[in-house]
C-alpha cells in the first residue's frame, strides 16, 4: 500500500486516525502496531512472516543485552549475543537483497572457465533495508545502555512496524523514540492539526511534482546509449535530481506528518540539501537519518576521526561504500557510494569541508557542489555502469543534436512548467527548512503556506491520485 493510493488516503488513514482519536489512549500502540502490519501485508504479502520472525528474535534478545549491574551476565556473554543478533539481522538482509547480485558475479566468473552457476532470483521484501537497520539500532542501543529493552511486545511492534516509516524511513534510531513509546499522549487533536499540513506538503511534492517529472526522466534514461545527446543527458540528469528529491523528501514529509498525527515525533530527513556549499554539508542535509545511523553504528565504532588522517579517510570510504551498497545490489550504487566517499576525502584533506566562504564564494561553491551531486545521481539512476559512463561522457561534450522525438514528446508543456518551477529548489536559501516551519511556525508566511497546501495543493494532489497518475515511491525499491 502506498501513501499516494486511494486505498490509503480514503480508507486506511481515516480509519486509523479515527481509531486513535476516539478509542482509549492506552490502545494507541496496539492500533498502530496492528494497523502497520496490515499496511505492510497489503504490499509484502507472505514477507510479513519474515518481518515478524525478525521482530521475535530481536525482541527476545533485548532484555539479555542490557548492562547487568549484578554481574549475572558477563560482558563477554552480552557481546557475543549482540554479535549473534546483528549477524542474524544482516544475514536476512544479505540473503534477500544481495544473493542475486552475488550469484551473478560468481556466474560471470565461472563462465570465464567454462562453468555454469545458477543465479539466485529472490523477490526483495519491501522496506527490508529499513527494518533491518531499526532492529540493529534497537539491540545496539540496549547493549550500550542508552535505553532499556522493551518488555511490552506491542510497544516493540509499534517501533519496528510503524507504518509511516516502515517502507522507506526515516530511519528512527531506538534511543530517538524510546521515550515516546509509553502512551502519555493527551492532545490528540492538536497532533492531528500539526501533522496534517506536513503530510499535505509531502503529498503535493510527490503527486504534483515528482510523478509529473517521472515520464520525462524515464524517457531520457531509456534513450539508447548510441543515441544519447548533450541535451538529453543533462535534461535527464537534472530532471532525476529534482524527481528524486521531491519524491523522497515528499515521502519523508508524509511520514513525519503521519507520525505526528499518531503522537510520535519522527526525526527530520532533509534540510534543503541542494543549498549545500560542500558535499560534506550535502550529506548533513540529505537523508539525514541514514547519515546519522552510519555515523553512530559504523563510523564512530571504526574510530571516526580520532586516529590518523589515513584512518579517517579509510573510515569515510568504508561508510560510503556501505552507503552505496545499502541502496541496492548493483555496481552502479557501489560506484555512486565510492564517488561520494572520494569527494568527502578530498574535501577533508584540503580543509574545504570546514573552511568558511564569503558570500561571493558561496555562490560558486554551491554551484560546484550541485554539479558534483548531479553527476553522482547519473550513476544512481542508470541501469548499468556502461550506460552511466556514456551519459556522463555525453554531459561533458556539448553538441547541438537536441532532443529525440521520444524525449520531446515526454517533455510536455505542463512538465516543462513544473520542471522550471522545481528548479527553484536549487536557488532557495539553506534556511528556513519548509517542513518544520510548516509544522510548527506561527508566522504569517507559514500560515499562508499551511492554508495553501491543505486546500489547493492537497485537493489537486488528491485529484491526481484519483485519476491514477501516481507511481510507487522511488525508495520503496531499497
The set of catalytic residues is 327
Cβ pair 273, 366 in contact under 8 A:
no
**What is the spatial distance between Cα 316 and Cα 238, in angstroms, rounded to a whole number?**
27
**What is the spatial distance between Cα 353 and Cα 242, in angstroms, rounded to a whole number?**
24
Nearest Cα residue to 142 out of 56, 57, 68: 68
Q: CB atoms < 10 A from the CB of 333, how many?
A: 20
**What is the spatial distance between Cα 443 and Cα 429, in angstroms, rounded to a whole number?**
18
**What is the spatial distance between Cα 57 and Cα 64, in angstroms, rounded to a whole number?**
12
Cβ pair 42, 8 in contact under 8 A:
no
3-class SS at 322?
A: helix
Q: Say which residues have a Cβ less than 8 Å from residue 390's Cβ, sequence separation at least 6.
A: 225, 228
Q: Say which residues have a Cβ less than 8 Å from residue 178's Cβ, sequence separation at least 6.
A: 141, 147, 148, 150, 159
Q: Say which residues have a Cβ less than 8 Å from residue 6's Cβ, sequence separation at least 6.
A: 465, 466
**From residue 306, how far is each of 310, 323, 342, 355, 425 by CA, in Å?**
11, 21, 19, 20, 36
Q: Say which residues have a Cβ less than 8 Å from residue 72's Cβ, sequence separation at least 6.
A: none
Which set of grid coordinates corresponds to residue 397?
561534450
Cβ pair 100, 121 in contact under 8 A:
yes
Which set of grid coordinates corresponds to residue 319?
561508510
Amino acid at each position: 500500500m502506498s501513501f499516494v493510493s486511494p486505498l490509503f488516503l480514503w480508507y486506511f488513514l481515516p480509519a486509523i486516525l479515527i481509531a486513535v482519536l476516539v478509542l482509549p489512549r492506552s490502545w494507541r500502540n496496539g492500533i498502530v502496531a496492528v494497523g502497520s502490519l496490515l499496511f505492510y501485508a497489503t504490499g509484502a504479502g507472505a514477507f510479513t512472516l519474515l518481518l515478524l520472525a525478525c521482530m521475535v528474535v530481536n525482541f527476545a534478545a533485548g532484555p539479555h543485552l542490557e548492562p547487568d549491574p549484578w554481574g549475572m551476565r558477563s560482558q563477554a556473554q552480552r557481546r557475543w549475543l549482540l554479535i549473534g543478533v546483528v549477524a542474524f539481522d544482516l544475514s536476512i538482509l544479505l540473503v534477500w537483497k544481495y544473493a542475486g547480485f552475488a550469484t551473478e558475479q560468481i556466474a560471470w566468473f565461472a563462465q570465464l572457465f567454462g562453468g555454469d552457476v545458477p543465479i539466485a532470483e529472490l523477490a526483495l521484501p519491501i522496506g527490508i533495508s529499513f527494518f533491518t537497520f531499526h532492529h540493529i539500532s534497537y539491540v545496539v542501543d540496549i547493549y550500550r545502555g542508552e535505553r532499556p529493552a522493551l518488555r511490552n511486545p506491542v510497544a516493540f511492534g509499534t517501533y519496528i512496524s510503524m507504518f509511516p516509516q516502515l517502507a522507506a524511513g526515516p530511519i528512527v534510531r531506538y534511543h530517538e523514540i524510546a521515550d515516546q513509546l509509553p502512551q502519555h499522549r493527551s492532545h490528540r487533536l492538536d497532533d492531528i492539526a500539526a501533522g496534517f499540513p506536513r503530510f499535505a506538503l509531502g503529498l503535493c511534492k510527490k503527486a504534483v511534482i515528482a510523478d509529473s517529472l517521472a515520464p520525462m526522466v524515464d524517457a531520457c534514461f531509456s534513450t539508447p546509449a548510441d543515441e544519447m545527446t548533450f541535451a538529453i543527458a543533462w535534461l535527464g540528469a537534472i530532471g532525476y535530481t529534482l524527481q528524486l528529491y521531491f519524491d523522497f523528501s515528499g515521502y519523508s514529509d508524509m511520514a513525519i506528518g503521519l507520525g505526528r498525527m499518531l503522537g510520535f515525533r519522527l526525526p527530520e530527513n532533509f534540510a534543503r540539501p541542494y543549498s549545500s556549499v560542500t558535499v560534506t554539508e550535502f550529506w548533513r542535509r540529505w537523508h539525514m537519518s541514514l547519515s546519522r545511523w552510519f555515523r553512530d553504528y559504523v563510523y564512530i565504532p571504526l574510530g571516526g576521526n580520532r586516529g590518523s588522517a589515513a584512518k579517517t579517510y579509510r573510515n569515510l570510504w568504508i561508510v560510503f561504500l556501505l552507503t552505496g551498497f545499502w541502496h541496492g545490489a548493483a555496481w552502479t550504487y557501489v560506484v555512486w557510494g565510492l564517488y561520494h566517499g572520494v569527494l568527502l576525502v578530498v574535501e577533508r584533506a584540503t580543509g574545504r569541508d570546514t573552511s568558511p566562504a564569503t558570500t561571493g564564494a558561496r555562490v560558486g561553491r554551491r554551484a560546484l557542489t550541485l554539479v558534483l551531486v548531479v553527476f553522482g545521481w547519473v550513476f544512481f539512476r542508470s541501469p548499468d555502469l556502461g550506460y552511466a559512463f556514456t551519459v556522463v561522457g555525453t554531459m561533458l561534450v556539448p553538441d547541438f543534436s537536441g532532443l529525440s522525438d521520444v524525449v520531446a514528446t515526454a517533455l510536455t508543456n505542463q512538465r516543462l512548467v513544473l520542471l522550471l518551477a522545481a528548479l527553484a529548489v536549487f536557488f532557495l536559501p539553506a534556511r528556513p527548512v519548509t517542513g518544520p516551519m510548516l509544522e510548527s511556525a506561527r508566522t504569517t508566511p507559514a500560515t499562508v503556506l499551511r492554508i495553501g497546501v491543505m486546500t489547493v495543493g492537497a485537493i489537486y494532489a488528491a485529484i491526481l491520485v484519483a485519476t491514477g497518475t501516481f507511481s510507487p515511491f522511488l525508495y520503496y525499491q531499497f
